[in-house]
Structure 1
Amino acid sequence: MAETPVLDPVEEEDEDEAGEYHPRLRLSRRGIVVLSALGALLLGAAGWLVFFSSVLDVRVVAVQGLAGDHLTAHQVREALGDGESGPLARVDLAQAERRVEALPRVAKAEVWRGWPHTLRIKVTERRAVAAVKTPEGAYGQVDSAGFTFATEPTAPEGVPVVELALSQQANDASAVFPREELLRSAITVAAGLPEAVRKQAGTVRVQSFDDIQLQLADGAVVRWGSAERTSRKAQVLTALLNRKARIYDVSAPEAPGVGG
Structure 2
Amino acid sequence: MKRVLWALAVLVPVAAVLAWIGWFSPWFALDTVQVRIGSASEAAGPLTTAEVDALVQVPDGTPLLRISPSEVEERVATLPQVASVTVTRSWPTTLVVDVERRVPVAAVPTSTGAYDVVDITGAVIRQSPGPVAGVPTVRAAGPGLEASIAVVRDMPEWLREKVEGIEATTRNDVTLQLRNGSVVIWGSREENEFKAEVLRVLLKVKALRYDVSAPGTPATSDNPTRPTALPSATVSPSP
What TM-score do you get using the length of structure 1 for normalisation?
A: 0.76
- Superposition pairs of residues 17-56 of structure 1, within 5 angstroms: 29=2, 36-56=8-28
The CA deviation string for residues 84-103 of structure 1, in whole angstroms up to 9 with x for no partner, is: 76111221111121111111
- Superposition pairs of residues 57-206 of structure 1, within 5 angstroms: 57-68=29-40, 70-82=46-58, 86-164=62-140, 179-206=141-168
Give the match for residue 210 of structure 2. Answer: 248
Identity %: 34
Question: Does 2:190 match 1:228?
Answer: yes
Rounded to whole Å, the distance in 2 between the matches of 1:145 and 1:37 is 58
The CA deviation string for residues 6-29 of structure 1, in whole angstroms up to 9 with x for no partner, is: xxxxxxxxxxxxxxxxxxxxxx95
Rounded to whole Å, the distance in 1 between the matches of 2:104 and 2:206 is 28
CA contact (8 A) 2:30 2:62 kept: yes
Rounded to whole Å, the distance in 1 between the matches of 2:7 and 2:216 is 81
Q: Which amino acid letter does the alignment assign opposite residue 105 of structure 2?
A: V
Where 1:244 maps in the other structure, the secondary structure is coil
Taking structure 1 as reference, are residues 97 and 85 closer, same or farther at Cα in structure 2, changes over 3 Å only? Answer: farther
Rounded to whole Å, the distance in 2 between the matches of 1:151 and 1:212 is 24
Taking structure 1 as reference, are residues 43 and 146 closer, same or farther at Cα in structure 2, changes over 3 Å only? Answer: same
CA contact (8 A) 1:84 1:119 kept: no
Give the match for residue 180 of structure 2. Answer: 218
The CA deviation string for residues 190-229 of structure 1, in whole angstroms up to 9 with x for no partner, is: 2222222212211101143322111111100000011222
Rounded to whole Å, the distance in 1 between the matches of 2:130 and 2:59 is 35
What TM-score do you get using the length of structure 2 for normalisation?
A: 0.83
Rounded to whole Å, the distance in 1 between the matches of 2:72 and 2:179 is 43
- Post-superposition offset of 1:34: 6.3
Q: Which amino acid letter does the alignment assign opposite residue 74 of structure 2?
A: R
The CA deviation string for residues 96-150 of structure 1, in whole angstroms up to 9 with x for no partner, is: 2111111111111111111111111221111111110011111101111111121
- Post-superposition offset of 1:79: 1.3
Once the two structures are overlaid, the 10-residue window that deviates more, 184-193 or 33-42, is: 33-42
**Structure 2: runs of 5 or more not aligned:** 223-239
**Structure 1: runs of 5 or more not aligned:** 1-27, 165-178
Structure exhibiting the larger radius of gyration computed from Cα positions: 1
